């Protein structure tokens, strides 16, 4: 067996390992073209948005899921950690067949940690940290750390 034949399996394995990074890069570029309102922003595998109503600049979205029937506004330099969900609609409690749509606004320089769920009509102020596993059901002021289910202010920065 020649040296070239011995190296062939290594080359094939190397090409196989490159498939996922290359495929994800191609998919990410296609998504960025479809979402021009995401300026200088990035995300990872698992990112999902339903309608493309996300308006942000210089943000890191990781694998956040956006159920974005109406706009979601995210301030500059905000970062999302893994496994978050932002929801912009709910059902009317009196009539389940009626949907209610409300915007979500997230301030500048916020950190939304892992597994956070942000519900409709919520405003999160600038420089705010939302703790892991929180469910944000009401407005959170600026310059604070908020945690819990439902999310409440723990302390101010």
CATH number at residue 52: 2.160.10.10
Structural domain span for residue 22: 1-34
CA angle 49, 16, 19 (to 5 degrees): 25
Average confidence (pLDDT) over 104-120: 96
Domain match, 23 and 70 both: no
Mean pLDDT score across all residues of the chain: 85
Alpha carbon 52 to chain centroid, angstroms: 12
Task: Provide the number of structural domains found in the chain.
Answer: 2
Contact 144/107 with Cβ under 8 angstroms?
A: no
Quick: pLDDT tens for 81-96: 999 999 999 888 888 8
CB under 8 Å to 39, separation ≥6 — which residues? 56, 57, 58
CA atoms within 13 A on the CB side of 55: 10
Domain match, 28 and 47 both: no
DSSP state of 30: H
Question: What percent of the chain has pLDDT above 90?
Answer: 52
Q: Which residues pair with 124 in a beta bridge?
A: 106, 140
pLDDT at 80 over 80: yes
Counts of helices then strands in the chain (DSSP H, E):
1, 17
pLDDT at 46 over 70: yes
**Active-site residue flag, 91:** yes
Domain match, 43 and 1 both: no
Cis, peptide link before residue 150, omega less than 30° from 0: yes
Q: What are the residue ranges of helices labelled H in 35-146?
A: none
CB under 8 Å to 28, separation ≥6 — which residues? 42, 43
Q: The pTM is what?
A: 0.80
Q: What are the residue ranges of helices labelled H in 44-157?
A: none
Q: Which of 91, 139, 149, 153 is catalytic?
A: 91
Domain match, 122 and 84 both: yes
């Amino acid at each position: 067996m020649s040296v070239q034949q011995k190296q062939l399996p290594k080359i094939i394995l190397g090409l196989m390992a490159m498939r996922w990074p290359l495929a994800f890069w191609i998919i990410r570029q296609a998504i960025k073209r479809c979402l021009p309102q995401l300026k200088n922003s990035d995300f990872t595998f698992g990112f999902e948005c339903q309608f493309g109503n996300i308006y942000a600049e210089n943000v890191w979205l990781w694998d956040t899921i956006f159920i974005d029937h109406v706009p979601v506004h995210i301030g500059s330099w905000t970062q999302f950690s893994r496994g978050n969900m932002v929801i912009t609609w709910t059902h009317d409690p009196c009539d389940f067949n009626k949907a209610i749509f409300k915007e979500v606004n997230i301030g500048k320089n916020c950190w939304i940690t892992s597994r956070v769920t942000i519900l409709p009509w919520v405003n999160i102020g600038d420089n705010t940290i939302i703790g892991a596993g929180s469910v944000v059901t009401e407005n959170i002021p600026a310059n604070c750390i908020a945690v819990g289910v439902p999310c409440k202010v723990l302390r101010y920065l």
